[in-house]
Chains A and B, each alone.
Chain A
Amino acid sequence: MTAKLFKVKVNGQHELTVDASEGTLLDALEKHQLEVHYHCKSGFCGACRSKLKSGSVRYLTDPLAYVRKGDFLPCCCVPESDLDIEH
């Protein structure tokens, strides 16, 4: 698969380059050694809930956890554009 690279800014301090063709956004944060919050990693528990300040994401599986306005679940999505997030 060809790499789909996006810039992801996390908590206003880290700038990562994330390949949307490889794993979920949460995997990418983990790979970059950031502290990650999760339980199920499958979109149903909501423990990874984060703020999407700008940009858009695409869900790989339909999230079952309630997603409040402005929130998203990094364990089951990939970036669709450059992102600014609070995790």
Chain B
Amino acid sequence: MSYSTFNQEQTNPLAEPMFFGNSVNVARYDQQKHSIFEKLIEKQISFFWRPEEVDVSRDRVDFNKLTASEKHVFISNLKYQTLLDSIQGRSPNIALLPIVSLPELETWIETWSFFETIHSRSYTHILRNLFSDPSEIFEDIVINDQIKLRANDISRYYDDLIFYTQLWQTHGEGKVTVEGVEHNVTRRELKKKLFLCINSVNALEAIRFYVSFACTFAFAERELMEGNAKIIRLIARDENVHLTSTQHMINLWQDGEDDPEMAEIAEELADEAYEIFMTAVKQEKQWAHYLFKDGSMIGLNESMLCQYVEYIANLRMQAIGYDAPFPERRSNPLPWMNKYLVSDNVQVAPQEAEISSYLVGQIDSSVDASDLGDFDL
């Protein structure tokens, strides 16, 4: 089943499943099987921003005032986020584009991944401002054990799907031996790998950023590193759009609204999907432990962060039809987080002067008659 960049067969995209149907030929959006993805594209594009437009220059002074343990928290989180967005900036494209069957979903995947690359570029923007040479920080990402542990768990579901898709594209269905290992490639097996992969990405978008978000906003609550906080608010807003897309995919499969075989697989692998999510929860708690190994920061400690992970995990699991895994954690232990997560923060603006929706593309559109001065019109 080799991939064609322009499938010449006449297909009806309205009758195709999201994945593993015919490959997309005409990029058309006048008719849509799942119009939600077109709406998410519009939403995401309306959020376009450029890291360079956010002024982070004051953060350098703040950074030098942080304690050693606070510096560890700040830098470690940036490293972890850099890892996450390095993966997300490419993997949806590489893993999902070869198997997608709907034009609106194909374009959503590309839009999604593109925004992750903006996030990646913003980390360089932040780090360049703090260090004259940030390369040591970037280089540590591939040798730091704590980060590697997470990288492995995040990338393996993608890698597995990519590998099997490649086997399928070059050999078709059936048994194939590669480097002495026999693989049985079937469409159902591929779909299972896709299902697990999307659940793993869903966990990433749902909770993997939030320990780090919480630390950033805790600094901002103390009026520290506010340039960084502005960027992270823009990132958090994007991540919520990404999360909605993976929640849609999973729910559409479960409800049988897309591909009946995926509905079966969603049921068959429900426990495994749950485990993927709970492993991510556990790893995030371990990350909180690692962050605070040398001491807490004002306003935040390991146990509050772990409680917040549980609180968020409840919301996320219920969104895809599971019971809350931590029923005792109904209350938000970090209520101040919300004001940074609101997408249009006009009324509830915290102490900072600018609001995320006005941070970028600032144009002074108010023109007063007096601005025109002596112009004779």
Contacts and interface: CB of A to CB of B under 8 A. Distances in A.
A15 interface: no
Contact of A35 (B318, B319, B332): B332
A46 interface: yes
Contacts of A66: 36, 244, 247-248, 251, 319
Given A39-B338, A68-B321, A44 B240 contact: yes
A17 B74 CA distance: 45
Given A49-B315, A64-B40, A66-B251, A35 B331 contact: yes
Interface in B206-256: 236-237, 240-241, 243-244, 247-248, 251
A40 B237 contact: yes
Interface string B330-361: 01100100100111100000000000000000
Interface residues of B, number: 25
Given A40-B343, A62-B39, A68-B321, A45 B243 contact: yes
Chain A interface size, as a band, is 10 to 19
With most chain B CB atoms within 10 A of its CB, the pick from A35, A37, A39 is: A39
B43 interface: yes
Given A40-B343, A65-B247, A66-B251, A47 B331 contact: no
A45 B319 CA distance: 10
A87 B355 CA distance: 28
Interface of A: 35, 37-42, 44-47, 49, 62, 64-66, 68
Interface of B: 36, 39-40, 43, 236-237, 240-241, 243-244, 247-248, 251, 315, 318-319, 321, 331-332, 335, 338, 341-344
